[in-house]
Structure 1
Amino acid sequence: MTAYLPAQVTQGQKPKLPAPFETKAAGNGPNKEKPPAGFLPKVSAGFQVSVYASGFKRPRWLTVAPNGDIFLADTTGSGQIIVLRSGKDTSAAPEREVFVDGMNRPFGIAFHDDYVYVGNMNELVRFKYDPKTSKRLGEKEHLVDLPSGGHDTRSVAFSPDGKHVFIAVGSNSNINTGEPAIRAAVTICDLDGKNARLYATGLRNPVGLAIEPVTGKLWTSVNERDDLGDDLPPDYFTSLKDGGFYGWPYSYIGDNVDPRVKQEHPELVKRAIVPDVLLGAHVAPLQFTFYTGKQFPESYWGGAFVAEHGSWNRASRSGYQVAFVAFKDGKPSADPVPFLTGMVPDPSQKDVLGRPVGVTVAPDGALLVSDDGAGVVYRVSTTK
């Protein structure tokens, strides 16, 4: 479901936004999130969707290991990283094994040589592993302390040269000032966690994190602030500049000042960057992936699939889908469009039929989507 304010590519220009409090803030979280047996989401023409794997507690981040295995963070209970393996044909039900459990709300997963890096809520860690078999070879190695609580996703990505690691940490609040500098920011450090510094700031809750493969630029998806109205401000998907400031908590979508926040740093607001792609208000974008496969039509090649977890702060539901943003030459070339939908049968009602979280491209070019409401991973492929 899309928000009233159109999802759009900004080309760096300030969009026309509603006034603050134009509509009353709504507390409208979903009641039930689990679909009935046999449910499948809807997908764009020319595609089909199936259940790839099921029975998870809270499946979140998805990523593909260098050997083609699928790593999944299941964050409820013991906090597991699970390996899914189905060989070249990801239409077959995968084998599964636990890579590690007893983690603290694990989320981001990334691979570098013979290490698996994981973003726990309270720390960045890594594990020695065998890249051929995906077997863990030792206990966790602590790299960086991270603050617990608040927005609890901790995403991880590597610089194109493989020499540094990026870590995304969200704020502890809606609009509070004075939070630790590592919050509402992306940090960069050495592979061993040393020499950490802020890379980009003013990002209320940066969740997705990945390198765009053509330009080598770092991108993130951001959950913006709440309680300014149904259509304000838009959540967004954007490239990041080293040293860039993106507004939070003082402003949003450039220099649009939040009237609730004491303006302690007007110099920051003056240089606040307008994000590249607006996704609609309160859609809650989580993981995204750039399509590097060949199975889908060429119009999808290089584009981004963005999982939208769905709104709670809007009278009529928005999000609850996977959106697609076409790219050309490493830059967004068309406004976002719905791709995987059908999880909101009635936007005015409390019940939904799932909440997308993770997206990744399988070795055969299919798209895998984790859903922590349904407890499943879906597989989207082209029709035969």
Structure 2
Amino acid sequence: MDLMGKATELVGAAMVALRRKDVPGGQAIGATPAIPKAKEQGIMTLKMPTATGWSNGRKPAAAPGLQVNAFAADLHHPRWIEVLPNGDVLVAESMQADRKPRSLMDHAMIATMRRARAVGESANRVSLWRDLDGDGVAEHREVFVEKQNQPFGMALVGDRFYLGNTDGIYAFDYDRATGRLSGNGKRLVEFKPGGHWTRSLIASSDGKRLYAGVGSLSNIGDEGLEVEIGRAAIWEFEIETGKARIFAGGLRNPVGLAWEPQTDALWTVVNERDGLGDETPPDYLTSVKDGGFYGWPYCYWGQTVDDRVPQDAGLVASALQPDYALGGHTASLGLCWMPEGTLPGFPDGMVIGQHGSWNRAILSGYKMIFVPFKDGKPSGPPRDILSGFLSADEKQSYGRPVGVAVGPDGKSLLMADDVGDVIWRVSAA
């Protein structure tokens, strides 16, 4: 580590130590969370465990009544999962590109991310995995598509496969007989790359539309709002007409997307802004209304104003309050609907992969959790499905949860672990 890196690391450690005494007693979770008053940090808290991966037979801890095994291993930073109708499991292998720092604080942040294996050379491919004998372990592996630009979200509609690269939505011809793609793909919608780079995708239940999550470039419009146009939003694309529009905005970094089947409402998990405290504001799970505005960058959790940002009173007044808080800086990324009966003892609800914090005095997230639903809304506290991704002293991360999906058998969950380079499978014990 160079002298600048060492200096910034020491400053970061000192700030973490100072702020531990101000850490709230509990997390801001649920429909009516207790959100602490904002405290502008000035120098951002930086705390992230060193990524070590899994060794010596170690694996995540499953909730009582469940077991976990490696469905697929030896991947390169697996981020997202799509299960095809024929049972093939697609995995997007990609990561944030490394870059030169722009400031002292930026230098510290990038150094922290490198240590946590959060930036580097992206594999830029989607791999295909197949469990040939139904034992919960994939024996067959092949490259599904490669030479992409930070691929992430995936959707198959009819004989067309859609891929969310960081610079747009691409379409490929899909041969159902062979299970393979043909051609180089065509870009249908262009997105601005950089910043929050992931582009999740989900198709409507009738197969007529695609929805894509596009995160902001910066934390709170730090480089001006003009460069944020078209970002911090969920986009809708009409497959037949080719028309694209912003479906909902003010969502700092909407990643996972899922349908709640009773109401057919679109839900998302959103990573909120940094620099106001360990629990302020919380990341959240919310239904998404057509034309809705959710506050970023002007305000959060309804009309709570962020006075670091030049204000727009009209947009603040229109801001919708999210449905369910997930705790501060949990980096909730993965999202899928899990019907009752998938895992024993779990009702209908949403499964969330929490990638874990990098900017609070006491780490949060680093779990796969479940939020129960009733009558189309969250109906109780979250439950852990997988934990044990951190060492006891929080200095090491064996893995980090990302994308989640119901397994091909309908009786299991799959979860991408981008530090462990594993796809974990959770099933009944």
Residue 372 of structure 1: how far off its partner (Å): 0.3
Pick from 5, 21, 28: which aligns with 2:39? 21
Could you tell me how far apart the structure 2 residues matched to 1:17 and 1:116 are? 41
The alignment status of 1:254 with 2:254, answered yes or no, reads no
Match of 2:233 in 1: 185
- For the Cα contact (< 8 Å) 1:236–1:279, is it kept in 2? yes
Could you tell me how far apart the structure 2 residues matched to 1:204 and 1:130 are? 37
Identity of aligned residues (%): 43
Could you tell me how far apart the structure 1 residues matched to 2:375 and 2:263 are? 8
Match of 1:238 in 2: 286
Match of 2:334 in 1: 287
The alignment status of 1:155 with 2:200, answered yes or no, reads yes
Which amino acid counterpart does residue 19 of structure 1 have in structure 2? K
Secondary structure of the residue that 1:17 maps to in structure 2? coil
Could you tell me how far apart the structure 2 residues matched to 1:295 and 1:19 are? 39
The alignment status of 1:306 with 2:378, answered yes or no, reads no
Which amino acid counterpart does residue 369 of structure 1 have in structure 2? M
Secondary structure of the residue that 1:268 maps to in structure 2? helix
Could you tell me how far apart the structure 2 residues matched to 1:313 and 1:372 are? 19
Which amino acid counterpart does residue 214 of structure 1 have in structure 2? Q
- For the Cα contact (< 8 Å) 1:221–1:238, is it kept in 2? yes
TM-score by length of 2: 0.83
CA deviation profile, 1:30-61 (whole Å, cap 9, x unmatched) = 22242324111001100011111110111011
Secondary structure of the residue that 2:242 maps to in structure 1? coil
The alignment status of 1:345 with 2:391, answered yes or no, reads yes
Moved more, 331-340 or 56-65: 331-340
Change beyond 3 A, Cα 1:3–1:123: farther
The alignment status of 1:97 with 2:142, answered yes or no, reads yes
CA deviation profile, 1:320-378 (whole Å, cap 9, x unmatched) = 110110112332111222221011223x5431111001111112211111100110011
Secondary structure of the residue that 1:137 maps to in structure 2? strand
Residue 7 of structure 1: how far off its partner (Å): 5.0
CA-based RMSD: 2.0
Could you tell me how far apart the structure 2 residues matched to 1:190 and 1:182 are? 17
Which ranges of structure 1 fall in alignment gaps of 5 or more residues?
A: none
- For the Cα contact (< 8 Å) 2:340–2:346, is it kept in 1? no
Moved more, 242-251 or 18-27: 18-27
Match of 2:421 in 1: 375
Which amino acid counterpart does residue 271 of structure 1 have in structure 2? S
- For the Cα contact (< 8 Å) 2:353–2:368, is it kept in 1? yes
CA deviation profile, 1:77-125 (whole Å, cap 9, x unmatched) = 4411111111472513331111110001000011100111110011110
Secondary structure of the residue that 1:357 maps to in structure 2? strand
Which amino acid counterpart does residue 35 of structure 2 have in structure 1? L
TM-score by length of 1: 0.93
The alignment status of 1:63 with 2:82, answered yes or no, reads yes
Change beyond 3 A, Cα 1:274–1:87: farther
Change beyond 3 A, Cα 1:256–1:193: farther
Which ranges of structure 2 fall in alignment gaps of 5 or more residues?
A: 1-22, 96-121
Could you tell me how far apart the structure 2 residues matched to 1:291 and 1:378 are? 16
Query: Of the two structures, which has the highest relative contact order with CA contacts closer than 8 Å and spacing of 6 or more?
Result: 1
Residue 16 of structure 1: how far off its partner (Å): 3.2
